[in-house]
């Protein structure tokens, strides 16, 4: 009987902890998601972190030179860009949603190599969001 009461107590406690955790996450709708992770990665100039969200094919435009790259090529291009342009600041000035759950962001980025108007586009693919376009345009 003591064993049964112990098991029921543990199950009840686990249920309370689960309910508390779920309600806490529901009360925090600003919890980081793909969009916020992309913004954070751009702010820190972290190509590796950014590459987690890259689509299989990504269009990258740097100073008017645009091309489509595979995910692995895009990561190399971004690492090279951020190594030559250490991010000093990034301010998200506009964000929005498109059809099908897509999202975009536009911001101003200050780097060691100059100022860029930066825009990115996330598209819903399957059950996740993927980054399919990045633009770094000289200001």
Q: Is the dihedral of CA 60, 65, 67, 72 positive or negative?
A: negative
* pLDDT, tens digit (0-9, with 9 covering 90-100), for 26-61: 444 455 799 999 999 999 999 999 999 999 999 999
pLDDT beyond 70 at 2? no
Q: What is the DSSP letter of 28?
A: -
Q: How far does the chain reach from its first CA to its final CA, in angstroms? A: 74
- The alpha carbon torsion through 33, 64, 100, 130 (nearest 10 deg) reads -40
Higher pLDDT, 121 or 20: 121
Mean pLDDT over 126-136 rounds to: 96
* pLDDT, tens digit (0-9, with 9 covering 90-100), for 3-27: 655 555 555 554 454 544 444 444 4
Alpha-carbon span 136 to 139, nearest angstrom? 9
Alpha-carbon span 45 to 82, nearest angstrom? 6
């Amino acid at each position: 009987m003591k064993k049964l009461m112990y098991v029921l107590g543990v199950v009840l406690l686990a249920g309370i902890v689960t309910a508390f955790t779920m309600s806490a996450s529901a009360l925090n709708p600003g919890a980081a998601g793909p969009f916020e992770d992309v913004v954070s990665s751009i702010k820190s100039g972290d190509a590796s972190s950014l590459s987690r969200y890259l689509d299989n094919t990504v269009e990258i435009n740097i100073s008017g030179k645009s091309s489509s790259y595979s995910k692995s090529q895009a990561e190399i291009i971004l690492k090279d860009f951020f190594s030559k342009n250490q991010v000093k600041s990034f301010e998200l000035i506009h964000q929005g949603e498109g059809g099908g759950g897509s999202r975009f962001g536009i911001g101003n980025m200050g780097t060691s190599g100059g100022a860029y108007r930066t825009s990115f586009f996330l598209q819903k693919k399957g059950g996740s969001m993927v980054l399919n376009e990045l633009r770094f345009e000289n200001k």
